Structure 1
Amino acid sequence: MRKAIQGIGGAGIAPSVMMAISDLVTLRERGKYQSMVALCWATGSMAGPVVGGVLADTNWRWIFFINLPIGTLALVSLFVFLRIPNNDVHQGPWWKQLKRIDFVGASTFIASVVCFLLATQWGGVRYSWSSPTVIALFVAAAVLLIMTIIVSWKLTTEPMLELDMFYDRARSALYIAVVAIASAMFANIFYLPIYFQVANGDSPVIAGAEMLSFLVPVDLVSVISGFLV
């Protein structure tokens, strides 16, 4: 449950930062500020495996608590320093702004992703791939995804999933590339520490240090690319 709460909170950080940058700076300067965000990400991703390894060797429960002081400092800084321009024609009370959120589409999409992840995680491990449980999860994921598309197409004026984004071939190819790259990257981030510890017998600290050979090039390219763009 604690990991799920962390996941929900963490999933909103990067999109929120990018949206704030879009509201605060011009398109010409956006790459520079996105590189600064990438630098923060690089610092955390390089320090995280080593610090996480130390925590795993001492008291792994601190993995869940270490975000509290850092998150509190970030939250206070947002309230003190962040000033978003009030240039939205749809401005109004916050409870009216909530009506613009596509809760139905978001719920069906999240449920679809959860079913798909459970099916791929349990298949071949807890259940066989041909078991009714795994098949039912795949079917549920497909049905919920179709429901998300229907909601986005017919039932809301501001859908979470804008189908118009997929009409352009160049953008569609870019989305596919991003999904493929992110899938490969996060699969490595998740499984490499397990491989180092289980197959090689390394300690959590050593496994975290070995992850730097993968993370450092990725982070450097992320920072440099923003300035080049």
Structure 2
Amino acid sequence: MSAAPRPWLAFSVAGTAIYLTILDLFIVNVAIGAIGSDFAATSAADLSWVLTIYAILFAAVLVPAGRLGDRFGRRRVFSAGLGLFLLGSLLAGIAPGYGVLLVGRAVQAVGAALATPNSLGAVLPMFEQRQRPAVLGVWGMIAASGAASGPPLGGILAQVDWRWIFLVNLPVGLVALVLIARVIRESPAEQGTRTDWVGAATLAAAIAALTLGLAQSESWGWDARVLGAVLVAAVLGALLALRSRRHPDPILEPDLFRRRGFGAAMLGTAAFWGAFAALLLASSLYLTAVRGYDVLEAGLRMAPGPAVSAVAAAVAGRLAGKVPPLRLALAGTAALAAGALVLGITLGDTSSYAWTFLPGSLLAGIGAGTAIPNLLALALVGVPPHRFATGVAIYTVFRQVGSAVGTAAWVAAIGTGSLALAATYRVGWWVVVAGALVALGALVSVAARTMAPEPPPEPATTKENHVRSR
């Protein structure tokens, strides 16, 4: 049984656990080379599945996981998810062969998907309404820090042994797992509802197909397999939309998407995270392939960006409730675009780190820290408390799909150019700028929709007027 409510203590426990799951989305990238050295018989195409299987399963399970938490209790599902994530971390960390490593990554992904929406969904109702904007600000700081600190921290741990990238989760995660039941209250389970398991499976398959096509686009060379995966996702998505209109308790509620500006906000979220993910990939490759830094030194040179991102997110959290989240999201997205623009214009084969890479990455970091918590706040505007976990899950799906699209677009844009030449990256930086501009456009659309007057009620029918006149 949980103790007397201490919301910030509960939040710190949930935030610590979720930092680990977000970190794992980005930390593994820099260790792929070291993993390949240990499993020498594994091809580069096979190694890519260490990243792909996590991306597919994580994105596919998110929304069903959110509905499970809303239906059966968010703390319960959060605990189960964190336990699975730690089990997967252990399997991956001690894997004697490549197959066991993939199994560990799959278990990690399912656990992370169960934990991510239900962690925030469990703790947010413990706060008063006036406190929630600040809570979302700090949560966004955790998300920004986890994403941005993945490459540098992965570089440091990979220098010791790539297995520590997974094993480092265990001591911190186990402490959080023990504390969950003590400090987080269980949410009431829904009564009288029927979970749409067919809809859940359809949604999971659609997202899995889309993520598979995007994640493997480079390996498959944008051939018929990629187009087929995207087509399958589109067909399944259309079937899900039809089912959701008819089912009494759909896995993806149409009412959430009818909220004014919600669709544009989700497009902005996807475009922003696409730009951010491409920026992180480009930065890591530029420092290692062009400038010749080893993984550790490249990680240390990337570290100022995550540091300033955390500070910016903390400041954004303090401003929550005083400045509308849309305005802060617009400012942060503009700063991300400006940072990528600086990098695209100034970086060369021998550019000064202090006068080119550092200013651009700091500006982008400020943008990420400012925008991310407020994009989440926009996603949850008007979401009822009993649907918090589902709302967070939908936001996270758009974040993951956007990241996959941005990464695939960046890889496609640089083509077959040499990664050792700065000129190859120039078009890639413009992809980042373009993604941020798309996000800006979507957020401006949100502003236009939310500031427009509500449509007038439809006039009464002739029959209704006749009845009233009598």
Q: Could you say which TM-score interval applies, normalised by the shorter chain? A: 0.7 to 0.9
Name 1:142's counterpart in structure 2: 234
Shift in CA distance, 104/223, structure 1 to aligned 2, threshold 3 Å: farther
Aligned partners of 2:158 and 2:276: how far apart in 1?
A: 23
Q: Deviations over 1:34-75 (max 9, x none)?
A: 334345456655654443212211210221222122211111
2:236 is equivalent to residue 126 of structure 1: no
Mapping 1:187-202, distance limit 5 Å: 187-202=278-293
1:11 pairs with 2:113: yes
Question: Which residue matches 2:91?
Answer: none
- Whether 1:117 and 2:211 are equivalent positions in the alignment is yes
Flag the 1:102–1:199 CA change in 2: closer, same or farther, 3 A: farther
Residue in 2 aligned with 1:218? Answer: 309
Q: CA deviation at 1:85?
A: 5.7
> Equivalents in 2 of 1:227, 1:140: separation in Å?
44
| Paired residue total | 218
> For residue 139 of structure 2, what is the aligned residue in structure 1?
37
Match of 1:79 in 2: 181
1:136-215 alignment, distance < 5 Å: 136-155=228-247, 157-215=248-306
Structure 1 distance, partners of 2:230, 2:141, is 38
Q: Which has the larger radius of gyration?
A: 2
Tell me by how many angstroms 1:7 deviates. 2.7
Q: Which runs of 4+ in 1 moved over 6 A?
A: none
> Using the alignment, how far apart are the partners of 1:62 and 1:27 within structure 2?
40
Residues 129-184 of structure 1 show CA distances to partners (whole Å, capped at 9, x for unaligned) of: 3x3322221211111212222232223x3323221222234222222212221222
Q: TM-score, normalised by structure 1?
A: 0.79
Structure 1, gaps ≥5 residues long: none
SS in 2 for 1:84: coil
Shift of 1:221: 2.8
TM-score computed with the length of structure 2 as normaliser: 0.42
Match of 1:104 in 2: 198
What residue identity is the alignment partner of 2:230? F
| Equivalent AA in structure 2 for residue 71 of structure 1 | G
Q: Quote the residue 1:22 is aligned against.
A: 124
Compute the RMSD of aligned alpha carbons. Answer: 2.7
Q: Specify the alignment match of 2:330 in structure 1.
A: none
Where structure 2 has 5 or more consecutive residues not aligned to the other structure, the ranges are 1-101, 321-470
Q: Secondary structure at the match of 1:6?
A: helix
Any conservation in 2 of the 1:21–1:33 contact (CA below 8 Å)? Answer: no
Secondary structure, counterpart of 2:249 in structure 1: coil
**SS in structure 2 of the partner of residue 158 of structure 1:** coil
2: distance between equivalents of 1:13 and 1:175? 21
